[in-house]
Amino acid sequence: MHDDMGIPVLADIENAASRIRKQVSITPVLNDPGLDAVLGTTFFAKCENLQRTGAFKFRGASNAILRLREKGIQGDVATHSSGNHGAALALAAKLDRRSAHVVMPKNASKLKVEAVRRNGGVVHFCAPTQRDRESGLADLVAAGHIPIPPYDHFDIIAGQGTAALEIAQAGLGVDAIITPVGGGGLVGGTAIVGKAVGLPVYAAEPAGAADTAASFAKGKRVDSWQPDTIADGLRALVGLRNFEIIRQNVQSVITVEEQEIKEAMQLAWQHLHLLIEPSSAVVIAAVRKSPAHFSGKRVGAILSGSNIDPQEWLRLVGAGG
């Protein structure tokens, strides 16, 4: 229906929602009055940290794989990933009786390598540079595997948008939605939903990986940034078409400091009883520091993932969290 190089519309996201329904969890939305008091807003946490494979990434991966099936395209898939997309693609492929080949830097965390393997993926180690990752993937594609990139892809964006669709359909009466931004798959899909249903969408980004905020301010995509943040899921540069969606449809990109991210992780544990990864916590930090945008509002915030070693969580947040 749509060109895979194009930008999804609401109908694509609605179709994705029907397509992935049997595999993907409708994640819970949590609210805690104690957290609301801290944030000065009514905060609805959309718990993609409780999604299968522990991250929203499974929505996009599931949609991409099921679209291959619909189109009758057979064969294994491949990607490079140091994070959640690899595990999500592995599971989505396994459920469709395909293999997923994931190029990972040889210094990737043991936990993330195990997550890919636990979900049935085949790990190919490479030297830890962007060039080696890309050439590793190119080799797999040359061998006939279908590339499924983590965010700059029509079906991935449409799949990630289904989380926002669930927020919009849940009858919560939200005034705005906020998501983290790394490569821009999640905020891209969310912004398409927001635009269609008349809800302003905000993006939250670590100051140490603020290429999207810089791009947004300039109105032109910044194509180089040396990321330095604990939010490992948000170190990627925003994708080309992802930035185009953001530029046109996102209200504001709010940057937060590392200490604010750590405090937000602690707030999530104390008030929501959830251990979340730093990339998730940026939305809590952004709402907390931006009363001008959110004070007194009802805000739907996507907690993107839970994939952190509890030991690392403790190192970041401190004992007695």
Residues that bind a copy of itself (CB under 8 A): 25, 28, 30-34, 47, 49-50, 52, 54, 110-111, 118, 269-270, 272-275, 306, 309-311, 313-314, 317, 319-321
Minimum distance from residue 319 beta carbon to a copy of itself (Å): 5
- Least separation, in Å, of the C-beta of 118 and a copy of itself? 8
Q: How far is the CB of 64 from a copy of itself (least distance, A)?
A: 20
Coil vs helix vs strand at 149: coil
H or E element in which residue 93 lies = helix 84-95
Closest approach of a copy of itself to the CB of residue 100, in Å: 16
Structure tokens given for 28? 């819970």
Based on CB atoms, which residue is closest to a copy of itself, 70 or 309?
A: 309
Which residue of the set 62, 82, 215, 280 is catalytic?
82
Q: Verify whether residue 82 is a known catalytic residue.
A: yes
Active site residue 110: no
Nearer to a copy of itself, 160 or 306 (CB): 306
The 3-state DSSP class for residue 155 equals helix
Instruction: State the pairing for strand pair 29-30/42-47.
Output: antiparallel
**Residue with smaller CB distance to a copy of itself, 50 or 231:** 50
Q: Which is nearer to a copy of itself, 1 or 319 (CB)?
A: 319
Nearest to 45 by CA among 195, 171, 167: 167
Contact (Cβ atoms closer than 8 angstroms) between residue 172 and residue 248: no
Question: Which of 46, 57, 112, 262 is flagged as catalytic?
Answer: 57
Ramachandran region, residue 291 (left: φ > 0; alpha: ψ -120 to 50; beta: rest):
alpha
Nearest residue to 300 (alpha-carbon basis) of 205, 181, 166: 166
Tell me the C-alpha distance between 214 and 207, whole Å: 10
List the one residue out of 270, 261, 269, 255 whose CA is nearest residue 231.
Answer: 261
Radius of gyration of the chain (CA): 18
- Residue 78 or 317: the one with the smaller Cβ distance to a copy of itself is 317
How near is the Cβ of 313 to a copy of itself at its closest, in Å? 6
| DSSP-assigned letter for residue 305 | B
Residues with a catalytic annotation lie at 57, 82
